[in-house]
């Protein structure tokens, strides 16, 4: 019997402020912890639900990118869809209707 992946992506497309930032993301990550390396800013933003602008230093005056979201494919944390924030609601013990973006 195989264990459900902790983090799983299937042709995931992540957009920031409606501009595609990552496309075709496909992987399975098993185990208790996952180490993300490389250019993963948008992936971390969609997983945490924290807008990119919130990470910026206060003195930056230019327009900053904001909301990251799954707009295609599938991205799951412990089997729960990231699209719509279902994985964050599950952590808090709240029900959220977040199906995979491709099924909407």
Cα-based distances in Å from 94 to 26, 36, 47, 66, 89: 28, 27, 17, 25, 5
Structure confidence by residue, pLDDT tens digits, 4-18: 899 999 999 999 999
Structure confidence by residue, pLDDT tens digits, 64-87: 678 899 999 999 999 999 998 878
Provide φ and ψ at 68, rounded to 5°: -105, 135
The structure's pTM equals 0.75
Answer whether 41's CB lies under 8 Å from 52's CB. Answer: yes
Return the structure tokens found at 47: 């997983």
Per-residue pLDDT, 86: 79
The larger pLDDT score, comparing residue 95 to residue 90, is at: 90
- Sorted by sequence, the CB contacts under 8 Å of residue 51 that are 6+ apart come out as 45, 66, 67, 68
């Amino acid at each position: 019997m195989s264990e459900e992946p902790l983090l799983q992506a299937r042709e995931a497309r992540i957009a920031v402020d409606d501009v595609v930032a990552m496309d075709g993301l496909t992987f399975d990550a098993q185990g208790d912890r996952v180490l993300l390396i490389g250019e993963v800013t948008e992936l971390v933003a969609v997983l945490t639900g924290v807008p990119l602008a919130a990470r910026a230093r206060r003195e930056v005056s230019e327009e900053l990118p904001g909301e990251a979201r799954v707009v295609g494919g599938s991205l799951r944390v412990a089997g729960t869809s990231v699209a719509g924030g279902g994985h964050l609601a599950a952590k808090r013990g709240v029900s959220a209707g977040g199906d995979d973006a491709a099924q909407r």
